[in-house]
Amino acid sequence: MKVTVMAAGKIKESWISEGIAEFTKRLRRFVNLSIIEITDEKVPESYSEKQISQAVEREGRKMLDRWPSDALGIAMDPGGRSVGSEGLAKLMDRWAVNGTSHLVFVIGGSNGISPEVVNLCREKISFGPHVFPHQLFRVMLLEQIYRARKIIAKEPYHK
């Protein structure tokens, strides 16, 4: 299976980059992983809601321009359906059994994901009600994909 993580923003902290590198390495035996990083739109907090919405739309256009044509999209959203590790494993396994060979997990910037990108996604899932920094969330998502693949393979790790 091919897995793409599409995320807004650049990773700035070395410890986050190290975490991404570690889980990228671990995932090699399970999936063909790629990470697509799009430039996030900087919006000072004093901007209006309309200006923030326009910035999110610009990020969304960048994502759509890089969207793999064969992929099933999953929007990572705090308001989405909450799934734990076992739930993510079940979803990924079901998609694979149903013939899906490419998943795109979308992480928006600090102002969210554009409605156009969300509409392209089959699922909107959450790792709970908490909101995490989008850079840190990248490591968390990769760890959860790795954990899900270990669960699917019936290998120890997830306890």
Asked whether residue 47 carries a pLDDT value surpassing 80, the answer given is no
- Domain-located, residue 59: yes
Q: What is the CATH number of the domain that holds 94?
A: 3.40.1280.10
Q: Write down the mean pLDDT value for the chain.
A: 93
pLDDT at 158: 60
Each residue's pLDDT tens digit, 87-126: 999 999 999 999 999 999 999 988 899 999 999 999 999 9
The reported pTM is 0.93
What is the DSSP secondary structure assignment for residue 40, as one 8-state letter?
P
- Domain-located, residue 148: yes
- Band the pLDDT of 43: cuts 50, 70, 90: confident
pLDDT at 51: 85
Tally of domains within the chain: 1
- Domain-located, residue 158: no
- Domain-located, residue 115: yes
DSSP secondary structure string, 105-145?
EEE-BTTB--HHHHHHEEEEEESSS----HHHHHHHHHHHH
**What whole-number distance in Å separates Cα of residue 157 and Cα of residue 154?**
9
% of the chain surpassing 90 pLDDT: 79
* 3-state class percentages of the chain: helix first, strand second, coil last, to nearest 5: 45, 25, 30
89: domain range?
2-152
CA dihedral 135, 82, 146, 24 (to 10 degrees): -20
- Domain-located, residue 84: yes
pLDDT at 48: 83
Asked whether residue 159 carries a pLDDT value surpassing 70, the answer given is no
